[in-house]
Structure 1
């Protein structure tokens, strides 16, 4: 009997201690990170899924940024369903987008139109969020093709007063001016303006952003150089990623570039990279 009582007592002490530790951790996080209802939407790349976003989103959760991560499944017809509803008073909720049409299969020979169509998937997620709660603002994070879908969403909707404002944009490995193997992607870029000497077909429709990009939006552009002589992350040349500056820097509230170097700067590793996690957590949520 005494042994059973002692065991129960130990369990109670452990539970109380863990509860106290959780409360302390949340209190420390509240001192370090903004306490906001602004949702952050993560959009994955070509042929991928929301699983590519989990290392980043769970790094934010471990840091104490949020306790709320939901998944938005987007069907090929654009219909959005969530695995959970975001609680009304959730702090810094995160939305992992999972695209069924993850290769824009109907646009294999016309990715200019394909990326624009991908932008409607992003819009549908935003509208679906609005049905849950009215959000005054959102943050957007993209990797690879997700960046082209996000930037097309902004190009078409960035100043639509019926949609939430965009507080922060994080671009990771964005191929704004083409991929490895395309001449436009490696063309020289003006270090001051980000303007490329040659513009890819996917880049040209985005030039309107130079006059329409939301002036309240802060931008962080993260790209990789494996330092293997390719001046790329294996898929996206550094110069292609840098052309985002020409599209947005003249209007964005702030614009900053971060270059990740070495073997962990490989294209697919950038969404599993501790340095990337630190950069985006600090940029999106640090006070």
Structure 2
């Protein structure tokens, strides 16, 4: 009986060990597809949300073999930033989950300031001179206003790659209890522009020229609404008129059907793959 138990234990150990080796080999092979740099990629959540909305994406990126290093930047309401976790000296493609305590802030310049504080903290701690960003919903406003206020500041890290998920650059459906449709002109500018969009028009001059690669991802429920259920597609696509002539490159990706719902975009395997390929694939 005892011999049988030891045989079972040894067999399980060999099976587990073999599985671990295969899994590690597959991950190492996959990682060879990706660039390895020290540039951090920041993930910024939307209104009323937290870093937990970013975890599905960061876990998918780690699982794909892109990186092993994930830390968190916790931003207090007073703007003070504390980092949770430590990046080793040999860290490559590090991910930073940004968590705003003041997650219902509607002053977009203040949200941009919160992002600036995160970048200053990372710069002082690790010496980063460049960064990438992935933002969802209101998080895109933090990025847009950060660039609006700081794009010309050469002392700050330079943005390299920007992924926008479900951006509402020219309004939100249901705001003030009355859905609106913001149609686009042939030049990409909305016929009717919100006050926010009018302010963001300054990006046409302030956004760094030929520096940033942009991927704009938006969802279409494919139900005739031309929206992700929360944001009109034309509001998301209005980003092109702000950045296309200034960006190093600009592209859009539409996610159709149920997975294109506003809050499901950051839970989509297709979106995960698009982010991975856009930021890190060789």
Provide the TM-score with structure 1 as the length reference. 0.90
Q: In the aligned structure 1, how far is the partner of 2:98 from the partner of 2:16?
A: 35
Whether the aligned pair in 1 keeps the contact of 2:70 and 2:97 (CA below 8 Å) is yes
Structure-2 residue corresponding to 1:272: 267
Give 1:241's aligned residue.
Answer: 236
1:22-70 CA distance string (max 9 Å, x none):
5423431332111111110000000011111111111111111111111
Tell me which of 188, 195, 201 is aligned to 1:194. Answer: 188
Which residue of 1 is the match for residue 258 of structure 2?
263
Name the CA distance, whole Å, in 2 between partners of 1:276 and 1:23: 24
2:118 alignment counterpart: 125
User: Who is 1:108 aligned against?
Assistant: none
Q: Note the C-alpha offset of 1:141.
A: 0.8
- The 4+ residue runs of structure 1 with deviation greater than 3 A are 1-23, 181-185
SS at match of 1:202: helix
Distance in 2 of aligned mates of 1:260 and 1:120? 31
Give yes or no for contact 1:185–1:200 (8 Å, CA) kept in 2: no
Aligned length: 278
> Which residue pairs with 1:211 in the alignment?
205
Indicate the SS of the match to 2:247. Answer: coil
Query: What is the deviation of 1:6?
Result: 5.2
SS in 2 for 1:282: helix
Q: Counterpart in 1 of 2:65?
A: 64
> What does the per-residue CA deviation read over 1:208-235, in whole Å, with 9 as the maximum and x for residues that have no partner?
1111212210000001111222211111
* TM-score (normalizing by structure 2): 0.91
Q: Distance in 1 between matches of 2:225 and 2:279?
A: 30
Partner of 1:107: none
Structure 2 gaps, min length 5? none
Aligned partner of 2:82 in structure 1 is 81
- Counterpart-to-counterpart distance in 1, 2:264 and 2:220: 12
2:195 is paired with a residue whose SS is coil
Residue in 1 aligned with 2:157?
164
Asked if the contact 1:86/1:132 (under 8 Å) is kept, the reply is no
State the distance in 1 between where 2:23 and 2:118 align.
32
CA separation of 1:241 and 1:125: change in aligned 2, threshold 3 A: same
Q: Does 1:222 align with 2:217?
A: yes
Moved more, 118-127 or 29-38: 29-38
Distance 1:101 1:209, change over 3 A: same
After alignment, is 262-271 or 38-47 more displaced?
262-271
CA distance, structure 1, for counterparts of residue 6 and residue 152 of structure 2: 64
Unaligned 5+ residue runs, structure 1? 105-110
Question: Which whole-Å CA distance do the structure 2 matches of 1:11 and 1:88 have between them?
Answer: 36
CA RMSD of aligned residues (A): 2.1
The superposition leaves residues 95-138 of structure 1 with CA deviations (integer Å, 9 ceiling, x where unpaired) of: 1111110001xxxxxx4xx0110001111111111122111210
Structure 1 residues 236-255: Cα deviation after superposition (integer angstroms, max 9, x where no partner): 10000011001100010000
2:168 alignment partner, SS class = coil
Return the alpha-carbon distance in structure 2 between the equivalents of residues 66 and 194 of structure 1. Answer: 37
